[in-house]
Amino acid sequence: MARVENTPVSADQSGRLEKCERRIGYEFQDKSLLMAALTHASGALHRLASNERLEFLGDAILGAVVCELLYNQYPDYLEGDLTKIKSVVVSRQTCAKVSEALGLQEFLVLGKGMITYPTVPPSLLADVFESLIAAIYLDTGDPGARDFIQRFIGPEIELAAAGELGGNYKSLLQQLAQRENGSTPTYHLLDEKGPDHSKCFKIAAQIGRSRFQGAWGRNKKEAEQRAARNALSELNGEPAPFPSD
């Protein structure tokens, strides 16, 4: 397996590295890889001993694994939809968020100039997360890096999918219906209840002669989106997520 520039690990550092390993749920065979992943350029003896090269590799690995996960998890999503989700999941913001949640700032090796900052900049947190991906890949190969990404980025994929496409189930159903049936879904009001100022509506999606389980919403727009989600689930052989009662 390829190696990065060796970063020596002192006895004092070994305890901190072990704590980091417990935090991320991975034990390195080569501790110098972990040390390199945690070392910012400001705290390195020279640039090749920092995590910059690891970050470069980790970014590429993260992108490739996320693309594969999205491709398999969302078989009915078009390329544009997958791209939207990926852009959120692999963003610097998401990497920094996961890194901060893991408390990786506690283990960073920084120069004196960086230590004076009250908080670790998000860019550094994003860098160390990507560097860890590469370090694990170099330490144990694809399975280790893939498992690490799935554990910590998997939930972010679901959040991004809900955020980017959660209000767009009608569009997804329309794409599917036009592709598979050459038709456009229609939406039918089945029921409504509540006072005029706070009505709820029950709407069902229909493609051709097939009508799917209806869904309630606090307004017609929300009910239509939920009805479209129910239809997509039924078409995938899954239970409808929104009740009709």
**Cα 147 vs. chain centroid, distance in angstroms?**
13
Tell me, what DSSP letter sits at residue 39? B
Q: DSSP letters along 195-222, please?
A: -GGG-EEEEEEEETTEEPPPEEESSHHH
Catalytic residue among 55, 59, 164, 224: 59
In this structure, the number of other CB atoms found within 10 A of the CB of residue 18 comes to 14
CA torsion angle 135 48 113 132 (round to 10): -10
Q: How far apart are CA 101 and CA 96, in angstroms?
A: 8
191 tagged catalytic? no
In this structure, the number of other CB atoms found within 10 A of the CB of residue 1 comes to 10
Identity (one letter) of the amino acid at 103?
A: G
Catalytic residue among 55, 81, 130, 164: 130
In this structure, the number of other CB atoms found within 10 A of the CB of residue 67 comes to 15
130 tagged catalytic? yes
- Active centre residues (catalytic): 59, 130
